[in-house]
Amino acid sequence: MMMHKRKYPVLLGAAGLTLLTGCTAPHSAPAAVPTVMQVVGTCHTFRTQQEMVQPSDIAPPVPCGRPHRTETYRVLSFEGAIAAHGKRPDPEQMAAYAQERCDDAKVIKQYLGAGPRDTVAFTVWPRVPTRAEWAMGVRTLRCDLVPPVREAKNGPLVSFPARDVMKKPQSSAVRQCERGSTVVTCDHPHDREEVAVWLNLDGALRFEEAETTATKQCGPFVEEFLRTKLSRVPTLTVKARTPSSDEWAKGVRTVKCGVGPANPAATIVGTLSGSAKGRV
């Protein structure tokens, strides 16, 4: 599975740069929750974009049933040479180490309750100890997930827990769909939902055969996603993204599988995932 990183070019791109500054947002001491005391399953919100993009966060968590912007899915420790630094290491080192440790696709999918054909579009967002905490020996690394909610003024905002969300209908708010060429979350009208599989067509295949072949090859994976046979849902069809003629001429043979309404003029709202509908 390929995780989507930095999906918010204004917000998260700024975050990547701000992580390199090493500043920490001010919080009153009584309300602070030290990094070492933070736990999996807690949710977090931020009053401003500036607060969200800080590398450290010791503000108290909020209930996951209330509006929030990130959720902690894993708590680790800095290890090895980087942990031996008495002073918090250079921002570039911290960012690279934290991102690599936190971005574990298998663990993320397990936490979200995602099935093998569920596309996961959450962004990984590490939180590191403050400079003062690091100097006192704290080496806790908090790994947060940022939902793929779009057009949020100060960052993504949801009002439900991320844990096992992919097993529920409300996951449509964090699943990736398309309306035409525009990527949307599946709680908006769309005509195609992503299925987590990429295929490579036979290099000897003719371009005119690509769409038919791709549709046939994507079929079993789409049925695995739906957890039912396509013959039982005639209103749905495989929607494979095949290379353009120019791409084909350059040797591209990659196919991206998807599913959507058989009626090309139709749109739907909500996910088609079988696991989200309780099918086993």
Q: What is the pLDDT of residue 153?
A: 57
Asked, for residue 81, whether it belongs to a domain, the answer is yes
150 and 121 part of one domain? yes
67 and 157 part of one domain? yes
280 falls in which pLDDT band (50, 70, 90)? low
Work out how many domains the chain is built from and give that number: 2
> Higher-confidence residue: 16 or 3?
3
Asked, for residue 189, whether it belongs to a domain, the answer is yes
* pLDDT of residue 2 exceeding 70: no
Q: What is the pLDDT of residue 150?
A: 63
d(CA 26, CA 42): 20
Asked, for residue 3, whether it belongs to a domain, the answer is no
159 and 181 part of one domain? no
> Higher-confidence residue: 242 or 148?
242
Q: Are 193 and 262 in contact (CB under 8 A)?
A: no
* pLDDT of residue 13 exceeding 90: no
C-alpha distances out from residue 3 to 21, 53, 96, 109, 120, Å: 25, 20, 16, 10, 7
Among 266, 272, 269, which Cα is nearest to 180's?
266
Q: What is the pLDDT of residue 46?
A: 85
146 and 199 part of one domain? no
26 and 137 part of one domain? yes
Domain membership of residue 208 as a residue range: 172-277
Of 116, 140, 166, which residue sits at a domain end?
A: 166
Asked, for residue 6, whether it belongs to a domain, the answer is no
| Per-residue pLDDT tens digits for 55-85 | 899 999 999 999 999 999 999 999 999 999 9
Asked, for residue 140, whether it belongs to a domain, the answer is yes
156 and 183 part of one domain? no
Contacts of residues 156-159 at CB distance under 8 Å and 24 or more positions apart, as own/partner, are 156/8, 156/69, 156/70, 157/45, 157/67, 157/68, 157/69, 158/67, 158/68, 158/69, 159/65, 159/66, 159/67, 159/68
Q: How many CA atoms lie within 13 A of 2 on its CB side?
A: 9
For the entire predicted model, the pTM comes to 0.82
Asked, for residue 232, whether it belongs to a domain, the answer is yes
> Higher-confidence residue: 43 or 24?
43
Lowest-pLDDT range of 44-53, 83-92, 174-183: 44-53
255 falls in which pLDDT band (50, 70, 90)? very high
**Exposure letters 72-91 (e unless 16+ CB within 10 A, then b):** bbbbeebeeebeeeeebbeb
d(CA 108, CA 250): 35
d(CA 194, CA 199): 13
107 and 144 part of one domain? yes
156 and 217 part of one domain? no
d(CA 8, CA 156): 9
Of 117, 138, 166, which residue sits at a domain end?
A: 166
Segment 163-181 mean pLDDT: 94
Asked, for residue 87, whether it belongs to a domain, the answer is yes
> Higher-confidence residue: 18 or 129?
129
The torsion defined by the Cα of 90, 91, 94 and 98, in degrees rounded to 10, comes to -170
- What are the backbone angles phi and psi of residue 255, rounded to the nearest 5°? -120, 135
* pLDDT of residue 220 exceeding 90: yes
Cα Rg, the chain, nearest whole Å: 21
Of 107, 141, 166, which residue sits at a domain end?
A: 166
d(CA 53, CA 63): 21
Q: What is the pLDDT of residue 279?
A: 75
For the chain, give the mean pLDDT. 86
| Per-residue pLDDT tens digits for 20-39 | 333 444 444 446 889 999 99
Beta strands in 147-214 (DSSP E): 176-179, 182-185, 192-200
Under DSSP, the state recorded for 259 is E
> Higher-confidence residue: 179 or 49?
179
